[in-house]
Amino acid sequence: MNQNEMKQAVAKAALEEIRGKLEKDSIIGIGTGSTANFFIDELAKLKYDFEGAVASSEASAERLKAHGIRVLDLNSSGRLPFYIDGADEVNGRLQMIKGGGAALTREKIVAACSDVFICIADQSKKVDILGNFPLPVEVLPMARSHVGRELVKIGADPQWRQGVTTDNGNWIIDCYNFMLDDPIKLETMINNIAGVVCNGIFAHRQANILLLGSEQGVERLVYPA
Ligand code: 5RP
């Protein structure tokens, strides 16, 4: 299996995970990225079995709509039974780094409104310690330099992702050479820097289920086991 086949396999496994658990009025949360795209394509098979979806990005909203899946506003959706999304890195506690696609803020909001977060990823995303993938931080444009200086103070090597504006009109700083030895503490600490909108550590709200694709098939991990 190549990487795309693994992403497709976990997307299919996620569909099986929610099949039979949806009501006609269910609204589910949908993430962003290539793995989430595979899931959206699978979800189209069940489109008559649930009411619609809340998307974590404009790109995912467009893909859902192209399949004829209704896209709803989070403010009128209430709690969501499921949130399905990929990750840039995931550890054994199902804590993640997300935001490689610059959708971290909306992803974190939709995840916070969801009862069960199902993370779908190929085996390249599984790590012991988060941090090899540069940690994305969404900032208000006027705060870019200030946030960069504060990130240096806590040991990161921040680099502005030039040319990228998020769906919220903000900018992204990627933190290189920044191993996350205490993801919960660092998530809070970075959020406390003035001008930070959100950071890509998903430790306070980690995934509940990880569907991990490998050569051997799809492994299902739950934390706590
Ligand atoms: C987007 C994300 C994605 O979930 C993450 O980048 C993984 O993407 P892919 O499935 O394409 O590897 O956080 O902001």
- pLDDT digit string, tens, across residues 179-197: 999 999 999 999 999 999 9
pLDDT, residue 186, reads: 98
Tens digits of residue pLDDT in 35-63: 999 999 999 999 999 999 999 999 999 99
pLDDT, residue 225, reads: 85
| Phi, psi torsion values for 168, nearest 5 degrees | -95, 5
- Give the rounded distance of the alpha carbon of 183 from its chain centre: 16
User: Candidates 30, 35, 97, 167: which one to mutate for ligand 1, based on the most atoms within 8 Å of Cβ?
Assistant: 35
Q: How far is the CA of 56 from the centre of ligand 1 (A)?
A: 11
Decide: 213 in ligand 1 pocket, CB within 6 A: no
Residues of the chain with pLDDT under 70: none
Report the distance separating Cα 120 and Cα 9, nearest Å: 9
**CATH architecture entry for 3-127+204-217:** 3-Layer(aba) Sandwich (3.40)
Active-site residue, selected from the candidate residues 17, 42, 89, 107: 107
* Pair 11, 84: CB distance under 8 Å: no
pLDDT, residue 185, reads: 98
Ligand 1: residue whose CA is nearest its atom 7 = 87
Decide: 35 in ligand 1 pocket, CB within 6 A: yes
What torsion, rounded to 10 degrees, do the Cα atoms 12, 16, 21, 22 define?
Answer: 30
Q: For strands 157-160 and 171-176, give the pairing.
A: antiparallel
Domain range list for the chain:
3-127+204-217, 135-200
Decide: 150 in ligand 1 pocket, CB within 6 A: no
Catalytic site residue 107? yes
Q: How far is the CA of 89 from the centre of ligand 1 (A)?
A: 9
* Pair 152, 171: CB distance under 8 Å: no
CATH superfamily of this structure's domain 135-200 = ACT domain (3.30.70.260)
How many Cβ atoms from other residues are within 10 Å of residue 19's Cβ? Answer: 11
Pick from 208, 209, 192, 191: nearest CA to 200? 191
pLDDT, residue 95, reads: 98
Report the distance separating Cα 44 and Cα 31, nearest Å: 15
Decide: 11 in ligand 1 pocket, CB within 6 A: no
Report the distance separating Cα 129 and Cα 57, nearest Å: 27
Q: How far is the CA of 86 from the centre of ligand 1 (A)?
A: 5
CA-122 nearest atom, ligand 1: 12
Decide: 108 in ligand 1 pocket, CB within 6 A: no
> What are the angstrom distances between the C-alpha of 63 and each of 44, 153, 225?
10, 40, 34
Q: How far is the CA of 160 from the centre of ligand 1 (A)?
A: 18
Record the tokens describing residue 95, joined without a space: 């804590």
* Pair 91, 129: CB distance under 8 Å: yes
What is the torsional sign of CA 224, 94, 83, 77? Answer: positive
Pick from 165, 170, 100: nearest CA to 136? 100
Record the tokens describing residue 94, joined without a space: 């199902």
Predicted structure pTM score: 0.98
